[in-house]
Amino acid sequence: MAAKRRPARKVKKVARKAPAGGRRINKEKVIEALNAILELELAGVVRYLHYSLMIFGYARLPIVKWMRDEANQGADHAAQAGEHITALGGHPSLKIGKLLETHKHDINQILSEALEHEREGVANYKKLLSLVQGRDVCLEEYARGLVHEEVMHITEIEKMLRRPGELEPAS
């Protein structure tokens, strides 16, 4: 005798609930902010890969490795943003953020452009944080973590741009 089939259960869409204070995220604005992050991170992948190809001189190898690591990290950050977008029911952008080609490939110029890019990243993550703070713990922690990472990138680039003898540590 054949087993009886049970009727299929309806699957409910699970919406993110508002915290105890009742404040909900504005999904449209959050998805927009996440797409801006996605586009910027994808631009960072292209930018850092391009920069790595344009490095010449005796310090080339460690700088190329650092830049390619930054490109890989940008791809990871873009994927994370895309995952959050789709989790919210949004559609990840296929656009890539602005790509500035100055044709100036001096290491100081490249690092200055990278610094500007990283500062823009911090601004985008802070904007996301302002949209989700106190409303969505997961997105808040994500934004805070990426603000921290991007600030650390800025610190590293600023250190690379210093000349020997600038800001010597106190003895």
What is the 3-state secondary structure of the chain? CCCCCCCCCCCCCCCCCCCCCCCCCCHHHHHHHHHHHHHHHHHHHHHHHHHHHCCCCCCHHHHHHHHHHHHHHHHHHHHHHHHHHHHCCCCCCCCCCCCCCCCCCCHHHHHHHHHHHHHHHHHHHHHHHHHHCCCCHHHHHHHHHHHHHHHHHHHHHHHHHCCCCCCCCCC
Q: What is the pLDDT of residue 71?
A: 97
| Burial profile 100-126: b = 16 or more Cβ within 10 angstroms, e = fewer | eeeeeeebeebbebbbebbebbbebbe
Lowest average pLDDT, out of 19-28, 43-52, 92-101, 118-127, goes to 19-28
Q: Does residue 160 register a pLDDT over 80?
A: yes
Q: What is the mean pLDDT of residues 58-75?
A: 95
Output the six-digit token pair for 152. Answer: 């650390």
* Domains (range + CATH), the chain: 27-90+105-161 (1.20.1260.10)
Token pair of 103 as six digits:
């044709």
Please write the tens of the pLDDT for every residue from 86-100.
999 999 999 999 887
- Per-residue model confidence (pLDDT) at position 167: 65
Mean pLDDT for the chain?
A: 88
Of 10 and 107, more confident: 107
pTM of the model as a whole: 0.82
Q: Tell me the per-residue pLDDT of 121-157, one tens digit each, with 9 for 90 and over.
A: 999 999 999 999 999 999 999 999 999 999 999 999 9
168 has pLDDT over 90 = no
Q: What is the mean pLDDT of residues 60-82?
A: 97
List the structure tokens of 167: 């800001």
- How far apart are the C-alpha atoms of 80 and 142, rounded to whole Å? 9
